[in-house]
Structure 1
Amino acid sequence: MAIHSEQYLEFWRERHLCTLTTLRPDGSPHVVPVGVTYDAAAGLARVITNGASAKVRHVRAAGAEGARVAVCQVDGRRWATLEGRARVRTEPEHVAEAVRRYAERYERTPRPNPERVVIEIAVERALGNG
């Protein structure tokens, strides 16, 4: 499938469990299941999570330029990966937008969580195979 084709974007709108890969301080990969939304127009992938999570600590440890991360989803032979720089956003409007997009993609509104933050990934590379 062509990257950013309608087929590719539709795959990112379907309900799929994804993985997020961050790097630990020792450089080893930390891979966890997450829900991801992709806003191709803005060039952003978003992951909502608890602010105390290991993935958030890894992203914050990278500093102001952001952490290199990847999110991936697989469905049979179809797969898609988005790579880029991640930053943690805590602003209520960013969290609300990420929750709205999550609820749209995953067809359920996450329970309230006052510790919720958003890992925003500025997508630099999109890969996939249809």
Structure 2
Amino acid sequence: MSKVLHDQGNDYLKFWNEYHLCTLTTIRPDGRPHVVPVGVTVDADAGVARVITRKGSKKVANIQAAQPSGARVALCQVDGGRWATLEGTAEILTDTDAVDDAVQQYGARYGRTPAPDPERVVINVAIERAMGRATLS
């Protein structure tokens, strides 16, 4: 398991498995943030978060424009006073196995599997930092 995620505790990981819409923040080429709602799945063992999307989206374009130095992104979710943010470096995956796996993980978290889409890609985020408050006391 990723030490970054493990250090946050079990409640934090459970929070990332509950049904919540999230936001993805990418950086436009001019430096301004681009924030959009997304569904996110987290693989704590691999230390990655994944977002499925269409290859023509602005978020994909922003990530591709940041290459080869890497695209810094943030994924966030909020539920009342509970919140969580994951930061890391994103890459775009297009191979069929990666897309199929991400779609299956999305279906497990969100209770529905999206229809097949030949334009679908995966935003794969190598998690470097995790922060938040997943319990209320």
Q: Same fold (TM over 0.5)?
A: yes
The one of 61, 80, 98 aligned to 2:65: 61
Question: Would the aligned equivalents of 2:8 and 2:131 in 1 still touch at CA under 8 Å?
Answer: no
Q: Does 1:121 align with 2:125?
A: yes
List gaps (5 residues or longer) in structure 1.
none
After superposition, residues 77-96 of structure 1 pair within 5 angstroms as: 77-96=81-100
Query: What amino acid sits opposite 1:119 in the alignment?
Result: I
SS in 2 for 1:20: strand
* In structure 1, distance between residues paired with 2:69 and 2:32: 20
List structure 1 segments (4+ residues) > 4 angstroms apart after TM superposition.
Answer: none
Does the CA contact (< 8 Å) of 1:3 and 1:127 recur in 2? no
SS in structure 1 of the partner of residue 16 of structure 2: helix
1:26-65 paired onto structure 2 within 5 Å:
26-65=30-69
Deviations 1:70-125 (A, max 9, x none): 00000000000000000000010100110010000000001111000000000000
TM-score, normalised via structure 2 length: 0.91
Gaps of 5+ in 2: 1-5
Structure-1-length-normalised TM-score: 0.96
2:18 counterpart of 1:7: no
